[in-house]
Amino acid sequence: MRSRSRSEAAIFCRDLHKQYRGRSGTVDAVNGLDLEVRRGECFGLLGPNGAGKTTTIEIFEGLLDPTTGSVEVLGMQWGQDDNPLRQRIGISLQETRFIERLTVRETLVLFRSFYKSGNDPDHVVAAVGLAEKSRSWVGKLSGGQRQRLAVACALVGNPDLLFLDEPTTGLDPQSRRQLWEIIRKLRNEGRTTVLTTHYMDEAERLCDRVAIVDRGKVIALGSPSELIATLGGEHVVEIALANRHRIPEAELADLPAVKEVGSDAGGIFLTVTEPHITIPALLDRLRSRNLDLARLTTRNASLEDVFVHLTGRRLRDDEILSA
Amino acid sequence: MTKYYPLKELLRVRLLEFIREPETIFWVYGFPLLLAIGLGIAFRNGAEEQLFVDVQQHETAEGIAAALGRIPGLNVEIHPSSECQVRLRSGRVSLIVIPGHPCTFLFDPTRPESAQARQRVNDILQRAAGRVDPVATVDQFVTEPGARYIDFLIPGLIGLNLLGSGMWGVGYATVDMRVRKLLKRLAATPMRRINFLWSMIGARLVFMIPELVVILGAGSLLFGVPVRGSLISVFILALIGAVAFAGLGLLIASRAQRVETVSGLMNLIQLPMWLFSGIFFAPERFPAILQPLVQALPLTQLNYALRAVILEGADLVSQLGRIGFLALWCGFTIFFALRWFRWN
C-alpha cells in the first residue's frame, strides 16, 4: 500500500480509528479507514448520515484526534506542524453561525487577519458571488448566502487544501447549483478539495474520485463512473406490479442483459446493460405470469445504486429499504 | 499590500458587535443609571418616611387616632379588629394599636418600618399622656455630600456593574460563540488562541470606561456625590476589577456547552457577591462567622477600595493590599480559564 510516495498525496491516512464513549458503551465512529487524496483532485466522502464522514474530515482538519491510526496532511502531521498546516488549509464546517451583526466583508477581514498570506477579502467576496452583499449583516443572509460566506472564509487564506463538510445540505436547488459552480472553479484553480456529502448527484457532478463510507469504513473507492461500472450495467429498470402482486427476484434474473435484481418497498429494480433488450423480454415474462405493470421507469445507474448494491440500504435515512 | 493584525481585528469585531446591539447597551449603561436614579430618589435626604398605622375600633380609638394623625409622616385609620389583621398581614400597615389597659402594639419586629412605627407611636402616646423626657435632645441631619446613602451606593453600583458586565460580556458571549461553533471555526484557523482571549478581556476594558463615566457622572451631576480621590485611581481600580471579573467570566465559560448552563453558573457565582460584597449595605452587617467568606469575595475588596478612593480620598498606595488581592484573582482565573478552555 505504501508504494506511492506519501508526500505526493494531499492526505494519506492508514487504519484510522475514532471511538467515542457513549451512554451505551463505546461507539466506533471511524473504524479502520484507509484513504489517500491526491493533490489537485476534488475528492468526495459519500455516505449516509452517521457513516463517520464528519468525524473523518475533522480528524483531517486537526480538530479531532484519532484514537489510533496515522494521518499525514500535505506531508505534515497534526501535533507537530499545526501552525504551518493551518496556514495552508481552508475549512467550512458542517454548520457555523457567524456573528450576525458583522457584515460579510468584516467577517472576511477578520478571517483574513489570521493568515500570513492570503486573498484580498473583496476578491473572495466576488468569487463566491456575494459582492452585492458585502456590506450586509450576516444575520440578513439567506441559507445559501451564508454557506457561500462559509466557503469564502475557507478561501480567504488562499489554501492549498480545502475541506467542505456538507456544503449544500439543506439548501434549495438554485443555491446548490451556485455552490457547485464555485467548487468547480476552485478545482480548476488546482486546489485540492475534500468534501463530504450524502447527495449522490453532488458527488457525481463534482468529484474526480469518491470514497463511499459506511459504518466508519471505506467500502468503495474510485471515480464516479468507475464505481457505477462495477454494477456491470449502466442502466436501471424499475418496475412495480399492479394490485400489490409480487414476483420472485430469481424469476427476473435470467432475462437478457440483466446483471442484478434487487427490490425495496417501492418495487423491483434491475441493473441492466441494454434496456432495449431487457424491457421487451421483461414484458413478455410478466404477461406469461398474468401480472400487470403499475409502473415502469428506466434511468442511468447512479452512485446511489452502488451504495444500495454494497449495503442493501439507501443513502438517505428517509428512504430505508423494507427488504 | 494591506497588513492585518489579528488581535486588532478580533478586538474591533467585539466592539462592533457590541455597539450594534442596542439591548446590550441598555443593560450595560442604562440599567445601572436607572438603578442609581431610583435608589437615589428613594433614599434622598429630607424626605419624610411615610408610616401607616391602624387603630383597632374602641371607644378611645378616635382620640388616639387624632393624636397620632397630627404628626407628619404618620397615616392613621380606624378599623375593626379583623380588618386590621388583614391589613397588617398584607403589608398595607406596619402596626396595629389596640387601645385598652395596657395599650397593645401588634407588629412584626423583623420589619424595620414596623419597629420604627412602634417606637414613634409609643413616644407620641406617652408624651400625650404626660411623659416628660428628662434629657434635652436635638436632631441634626447629615446632608453633607459624602456621608449620605447615595454616596455609599454609587461606588457599590460601579462594583456591581463591573461584575455583571464582566460575567455577561465575557462569559455569556464566549459560550454563545461555542454554541454557534464559531469557536471551533476560529480554532481551525492559524489564529493564535491566546489572542482570542485577550480580545475578550480587552473589549471589556474598553466598555468599562463609559460604564464608569455614566455611573460616576450620574452620581455627581444628579446627587452631588463627590470624588475625593484622583480619577486616575478610580480608573485603575475599575480596570483591575474589570479584568478580575472578565477572568471569572472566562473561567465559568471555559467548558460550558450551553448558554443555559453558563447563565445558571453566572448567577450562582454572582449571588454571594450581590448579597455580601457591600453593594447596597456594608458587609460588616454580616455575622463574624461569615466574614472570612465575605472578605474573600473579590467584589468586597473592590468595593472597599472604590469607597476609600471616591469617598475618603485615599490614594492607591493605601489600597495596595486590596489591589494585590484582586490581582491574584485576575491571575488565578485567567490561568485556569486558559487551562480548561474548550474550543469544541
pLDDT of A4 > 70? The answer is: no
User: What is the per-residue pLDDT across B10-59, written as a single tens digit (0 to 9) for each?
Assistant: 999 999 988 898 887 887 788 888 888 887 777 765 556 788 999 999 88
Closest to B305 in 3D by CA, of B229, B216, B213: B229
Cβ under 8 Å to B: A residues 234-293 = none
Residues of B within 8 A of A102 (CB-CB) are: 13, 16-17
Give a yes or no: residue A320 inside a domain. no
Cβ–Cβ below 8 Å for B9 and A62: no
**Are B192 and B276 members of one domain?**
yes
C-beta separation of B6 from A114 below 8 A: yes
What pLDDT does A299 receive? 87
Q: What is the mean pLDDT of residues B286-313?
A: 94
**Are A92 and A197 members of one domain?**
yes
Q: Is A88 on the interface with B (CB under 8 A)?
A: no
Residue carrying the nine cell digits 442604562: B30
Give a yes or no: residue B316 inside a domain. yes
pLDDT of A265 > 80? The answer is: no
Give a yes or no: residue B138 inside a domain. no
User: In a 3-state reduction of DSSP, which class is residue A27?
Assistant: strand
User: What is the per-residue pLDDT across A187-223, written as a single tens digit (0 to 9) for each?
Assistant: 888 899 999 998 888 999 999 999 999 999 999 999 9
User: What is the per-residue pLDDT across A308-319, written as a single tens digit (0 to 9) for each?
Assistant: 888 877 776 554
Residues of B within 8 A of A63 (CB-CB) are: 184, 187-188, 344
| CATH code of the domain in which A237 resides | 3.30.70.980
What pLDDT does A6 receive? 52
User: In a 3-state reduction of DSSP, which class is residue A74?
Assistant: coil
What pLDDT does B15 receive? 92
What pLDDT does A112 receive? 96
What pLDDT does A164 receive? 95
**A224: confidence class by pLDDT, cuts 50, 70, 90:** very high
Give a yes or no: residue A134 inside a domain. yes
User: What is the per-residue pLDDT across A124-183, written as a single tens digit (0 to 9) for each?
Assistant: 999 999 999 999 999 999 999 999 999 999 999 999 999 999 999 888 889 899 999 999
What pLDDT does B344 receive? 80
C-beta separation of B14 from B205 below 8 A: no
Closest to A74 in 3D by CA, of A181, A159, A168, A196: A159
Give a yes or no: residue A23 inside a domain. yes
What pLDDT does B323 receive? 96
Give a yes or no: residue B184 inside a domain. yes
**Are A218 and A236 members of one domain?**
no
The domain tally of chain B equals 2
pLDDT of A264 > 90? The answer is: no
Give the closest-approach CA distance of A115 to chain B in angstroms.
6
User: B205 CB contacts (<8 Å, ≥6 apart)?
Assistant: B239, B242, B243, B246
What pLDDT does B53 receive? 92
User: A266 CB contacts (<8 Å, ≥6 apart)?
Assistant: A238, A240
What pLDDT does A7 receive? 59
Domain housing B172: 6-42+144-340
**Are A259 and A112 members of one domain?**
no
What pLDDT does B291 receive? 93
**B143-147 contacts at long range (C-beta below 8 A, 24 or more positions apart):** B143/B45, B143/B46, B145/B224, B145/B225, B145/B226, B146/B225, B146/B226, B146/B228, B146/B311
CB atoms within 10 A of CB B49: 9
Return the HEC string of chain B.
CCCCCHHHHHHHHHHHHHHCCHHHHHHHHHHHHHHHHHHHHHCCCCCCCCEEEEEECCCCHHHHHHHHHCCCCEEEEEECHHHHHHHHHCCCCCEEEECCCCCEEECCCCCHHHHHHHHHHHHHHHHHCCCCCCCCCCCCCCCCCCCCHHHHHHHHHHHHHHHHHHHHHHHHHHHHHHHCCHHHHHHCCCCCHHHHHHHHHHHHHHHHHHHHHHHHHHHHHHHCCCCCCCHHHHHHHHHHHHHHHHHHHHHHHCCCCCHHHHHHHHHHHHHHHHHHCCCCCCHHHCCHHHHHHHHHCHHHHHHHHHHHHHHHCCCCHHHHHHHHHHHHHHHHHHHHHHHHCCCC
Q: Is A95 on the interface with B (CB under 8 A)?
A: yes
pLDDT of B329 > 90? The answer is: yes
Of A61, A96, A114, the CB nearest to B181: A96
Give the closest-approach CA distance of B244 to chain A in angstroms.
26
**Are A204 and A249 members of one domain?**
no
pLDDT of B143 > 90? The answer is: no
Q: What is the mean pLDDT of residues B75-88?
A: 91
- On average, the pLDDT of chain A sits at 88
Percentage of residues in chain B having pLDDT higher than 90:
54
Closest to B343 in 3D by CA, of B113, B151, B180: B180
pLDDT of B246 > 90? The answer is: yes
Q: Is A113 on the interface with B (CB under 8 A)?
A: yes
For the ranges A218-232, A285-299, B214-228, B288-302, the maximum mean pLDDT occurs at: B288-302
Residue carrying the nine cell digits 474520485: A209
Q: How far is CA A71 from CA A76, A79, A109, in A?
A: 9, 11, 31
**Are A28 and A75 members of one domain?**
yes
Q: Is A102 on the interface with B (CB under 8 A)?
A: yes
Of A91, A101, A109, the CB nearest to B188: A91
Q: How far apart are CA B10 and CA A110, in angstroms?
A: 7
What pLDDT does A269 receive? 87
Give a yes or no: residue A308 inside a domain. no
Q: Is A2 on the interface with B (CB under 8 A)?
A: no
Give the closest-approach CA distance of B10 to chain A in angstroms.
7
| CATH code of the domain in which A24 resides | 3.40.50.300
What pLDDT does A316 receive? 64
Q: Is A110 on the interface with B (CB under 8 A)?
A: yes
Q: What is the mean pLDDT of residues B154-175?
A: 92
Lowest-confidence range among A52-66, A158-172, A291-305? A291-305
Q: Which three cell numbers stand for residue B62?
A: 378616635
Q: Which three cell numbers stand for residue B273?
A: 457577591
User: What is the per-residue pLDDT across B206-230, written as a single tens digit (0 to 9) for each?
Assistant: 989 988 998 999 889 888 888 999 9
Write the Ramachandran bin of A312: left for phi over 0, alpha for psi from -120 to 50, otherwise beta. left
What pLDDT does B30 receive? 84
Interface predicted TM-score (ipTM) over 0.90:
no
**A19-24 contacts at long range (C-beta below 8 A, 24 or more positions apart):** A19/A67
Give a yes or no: residue B243 inside a domain. yes
Q: How far apart are CA B201 and CA B188, in angstroms?
A: 22
Cβ–Cβ below 8 Å for B182 and A98: yes
